[in-house]
Structures are given as structure tokens and as C-alpha cells.
Structure 1
Amino acid sequence: MKVFVVLALAIASVSAGVLPQGAPMHPRDMPAVAATIEGRITNGKTAAPGQFPYQVGLSFGSSSGSWWCGGSIIATRWVLTAAHCTDGASDVTITYGATVRNIAKLTHKVPSSKFIQHASYNSAILRNDISLIETPAVSFTADINKVKLPVMADSYSTYDGQEAIASGWGKISDSATGVASTLQYDIFKIVSVSTCQSTYGSLIASSRVICIATPNKISTCNGDSGGPLVLVSNKELVGVTSFVSSAGCESGAPAGFTRVTSYLDWIRDITGV
């Protein structure tokens, strides 16, 4: 079925006048591959303890298996992540305040009844890839704290050329067999929607998406899904990790994020934030 979806996306992009370098796909759906002797860290720097207090790890469970995603604390009782992370899950264990993935300051297990997945999420075209998770209240500390959301006035900002930080425990190379043990991050440049459309077409790279350049094989990857993209300038959360090229995380194609400013009303109506 996934092969069909990727093929359909490629056909849609060609019909729109764009030949994609590689069809987009959610990082969670990237296939596992065998490790090679050349495995090396390609997607970032190692985070220091407390550097990203808003970052959470999300271990989702279901009857068909489990998977790892990232998320962002936006209030004492709310975590923001991607819809493709919550989709199909029965529960999630939330890891707070961790740098080493399995050493947390706090954990909460939350059932799927506390997931609010965007009602118009479309996995075929990666549209409205955003979810909220209602959590037990957490107390903020130096290691656990919320990230600032953009203001409504920023809704029309393109962010083109601005620098932003992506973080997560995603795979450190295309050849890695599992997610990273220690939180990774890097600083990326946001590119225009038109630049992103030249790779993925306008059906995928819509105005509700933000894309980053991924030079030197540095990018988000499997396990980073749902994690934060935060502006360097003002520390605002502007993106939720959504897709990469099916050609691989190290392919050099732009990586895509759900644009948070397009969903500020939706977030406010549900959470009051």
C-alpha cells in the first residue's frame, strides 16, 4: 500500500508539471536497512542536558507494533506532535527532560483517548499533519519547559532565509538500524515554498508547509517525526517534523514541516493556548 501511495504522489507531481527528485514520505514510514561499516553521524550535533527543555520523546504502542516520535511541550497539559505519529496508536509513553533517550526526568503513559488528531489529516498527500496530546499536568523546571508559539501576526511571515533548530532522537544516518540514544540537533536554513515545490510539487509543498535545506547530508530522519523546528532568532516553534524524501534523509532534498502558524486557531480552540 505504501508503494502505491508513493507512486501516486509521483504521478500527481508530474501532472502538476513538477518531476520530483524523490517522492515525500513521513520519516516514521522510512524502511529499516542493514547497518554498514561506514555508519557515521550525519544528521546533527549532540545536545547538552537542558538545552531543549521543550523536547519530549514519544514511544507509541499499537496492536501491530511500536514506533518512536518527537514532540513539543506547549503548555503544562499539552504536547504538540504530528498526526502521522498518533495515527493508529493505542497509547504513548511520554519522556520528559531526557537527553539520553532512556533516562528521563519524568514519564507519563497516555491512552489514545487523549489524542486530538487533526480531523482533516490526509496521509496520502501529507496534509494537516498535526496532533495534540493531552497529558497529566507537569511542573516546569530547567529540564522540562514549554516552547513559545508564534503570534497571530506571524501568520503571513514566510520565514524564508531564517535559521531554525530541529532536534530529535532520529536515525543518525540512512544506514542506521535504530533511533539515536542521545538527543541530536542542528541549525538549518528555511527555504521558500516555491523551492520546496520544485522537489515535491504544490500538492505536497503547500502554504501550510515549511521546508528546510539539508546540505552536507544533515537532515531530519526516522524517529524525528513530530519533533520541533524552532526559530533561532526568537525561540518560537514554527514547524512540526512531517516529511523527507523517499530517496533518503541524506539525499539533499528539502525536509518538510507542518507550519504551526497555519494551525494557531485550531490549537487555541482545543487547548486555550
Structure 2
Amino acid sequence: FCSMDVFEPTLCCKQCGPVDNSSEPEAIMRGAGLADVVGGYDDDRFDYLHMALLGYGDDPKTAKWLCAGSIISDRYILTAAHCTSSPTLGNITFAALGVLKRTDDFNMWQIYDIAKVIPYPDYEPPSKYDDIALLKTRSRIRYNVEVAPACVHKGEEMPDIAAATGWEALRDTQPVPDHLQVVYVKKFSQEDCMKQYPQHEHLPKGHDNFTQACYGDIYDGNTCEDDSDGPLQIKTENSKKSRCEHTIVGVRSYVRTCGEAGVPGMYTAVSHYVPWIESYTGRLP
């Protein structure tokens, strides 16, 4: 291990609805107000309305706001299982919606108590498999011009290019940014994923092609370890019909190194978990 964060040791391995699956980088960038998760851009307030900033503590005003998630229904938020609990901070207790900047007026946020934390039943930390969870809010989420749900990916094929979002460090040496970040990433082949993530203490079977996918920055570097939790998404086809602007295809799990070109990050593939998700939410678009 290189270090400890608030959730778990940092892994440092020295080895080694229908969706638009054909988005070009230029087209994706036109859909976001472009600064960097590692090589990315500041998001615009009206681009990623499903984003949730997750808090730990007894009072929203003093809570530690660290992980990110995605609204997928009026009672459920999708996130990474490793984010649901911290040895030092305890369980997630709040979700803040309609957040663009951490320093925005606190009264601008919609804050919801988390009534139930539901990690995928086969998730066993510190393993990196099945790193996905649901958060149930105590009250129904109110949709408006700044808060809206995303769809979940139900197709077998992962997109070639997608957008990763979150409130994370631009580089491992930089502080956590104030502004919601966007970075555009490309899919790595299964062979490359298996080479980058071979068998390891936290990956006893190595990279799992059925439940995991690798994505890296299309220009340089990748997302950092602190990014691990935010969604990977694409624009939804026929968004007016589905009422989802974006479709969540992955949930950020971890990365071997931070900001290094050619080293992809690991994402949990959402489509594999749709039956489990819908057992709580009911059928989703």
C-alpha cells in the first residue's frame, strides 16, 4: 500500500434506455461546459443534473462531503460500495443535489438524509469486485431544472468514449477542487485491462471482463484514486422520450496510478447489476 485514504488503503501496483455508443470527443465536449479530473474540465450547472455529492457526519453544515453518486430514481442514488462507509467517518448520511461548486451558498443545495445504505451483497472489501451500491433517501427527491435522474445502462456493449464526473483532485499532488469536474475517457480493450490489472491481493482473479471495464483519458493521464466513486456516463438517445439526459454505464472503482498516460481507471459495469438495482427501484427507463 502507498497510503491510507478515508475509505481504504491506496492500491499501488507496479506491474504490469438505448444509449449513444458512437459519441465523438468533439460531440461529447459540446455537451459539457469544459477544467479537469485529470485532464478534464469544469462542468456547467445544467449539464449533469443527476450528480449527487455525498456527506458523512451528523450535521450537513459540518459534514465531510467526499464521494459522488448518481440519482437514478426519486428515492435512490447509485454510487461505489467502497464509498458507503469510512473507518474514520462512518456511513454516508447525506446527499446534496443541485451542487456545482462546494463553495456555493449552502442554501442552494437540496440536502437529503440517507435512510438506507445498500452495498451489493457480494461486495467484500478490500476486494475490488462488485464495487457498487445504492443509497435510499429518507424522502422523495424533488426534480427541477437543476436536479434530474439519469438512466442506467442495460446494453451488453460498453461505449467507446464516455464522460467521467466528480469533485476530485486534478492530480495526486493537487487539492480537491471546488468545481464539479468532467474528463473524457476512452475504453481500453479487455486484453489491455488484463495486462494493466493482473491478479492481485484485491483482484484474485485479475480484471473481470463481465463486471468491470477500463477507461483512460483520451488526451493524457487518467482519473486519480480520489476520483473513485463518480459515474461514467454518455448522452442518452431520445432523451426527451426517456426523460434522462445521461445514461450511467459505470461507477468509478479505482486506478493503479494517478494521472499517468496509458494507465486506465477501473469501473464497475452497471449493466451487469441492473436486475439487482431494479429489485429496489422498480423498473427503470
For Structure 1 versus Structure 2, the TM-score category normalised by the shorter chain is 0.7 to 0.9
Distance 1:200 1:68 in 2: 26
1:266 is aligned to 2:276: yes
What does residue range 24-173 of structure 1 map to in structure 2 within 5 Å? 42-61=38-57, 66=64, 68-88=66-86, 89-103=90-104, 105-111=108-114, 114-135=116-137, 136-151=139-154, 154=155, 156-157=156-157, 159=158, 162-173=160-171
Q: Describe the SS at the equivalent of 1:114.
A: strand
Opposite residue 80 of structure 1, the aligned amino acid is L
What does residue range 215-226 of structure 1 map to in structure 2 within 5 Å? 216-226=219-229
Equivalent residue number for residue 198 of structure 1: 195
Structure 2 unaligned runs (5+)? 17-34, 200-204, 238-245
Runs of 4+ residues over 4 Å off in structure 1: 1-10
Equivalent residue number for residue 27 of structure 1: none
Structure 2 contact 169–177 (Cα < 8 Å) conserved: yes
Structure 2 contact 10–225 (Cα < 8 Å) conserved: no
Q: How many Å apart are 1:226 and its aligned residue?
A: 1.9
Q: Describe the SS at the equivalent of 2:178.
A: coil
State, as a whole percentage, how many aligned pairs show the same letter. Answer: 26
Distance 1:189 1:80, change over 3 A: same
Cα deviation 1:116-159 (Å, max 9, x = unaligned): 111211223301101100012112112100001123xx1x32x2
Equivalent residue number for residue 265 of structure 2: 255
Distance 1:7 1:102 in 2: 28
Q: Using CA pairs under 8 Å that are at least 6 residues apart, name the structure with larger relative contact order, 1 or 2.
A: 1
Number of equivalent positions: 237
Structure 1 contact 80–131 (Cα < 8 Å) conserved: yes
RMSD: 2.9
Structure 1 contact 171–179 (Cα < 8 Å) conserved: yes
Query: More helix per residue: 1 or 2?
Result: 1
Structure 2 contact 216–223 (Cα < 8 Å) conserved: no
Structure 1 contact 165–232 (Cα < 8 Å) conserved: no
Q: How many Å apart are 1:66 and its aligned residue?
A: 4.8
Equivalent residue number for residue 22 of structure 2: none
Structure 1 unaligned runs (5+)? 11-18, 22-39
Could you state the TM-score of these two structures normalised by the residue count of structure 1?
Answer: 0.76
Cα deviation 1:93-134 (Å, max 9, x = unaligned): 2111111123264333535x5101112112233011011000
Distance 1:101 1:255, change over 3 A: same
Equivalent residue number for residue 16 of structure 1: none
Q: How many Å apart are 1:267 and its aligned residue?
A: 0.1
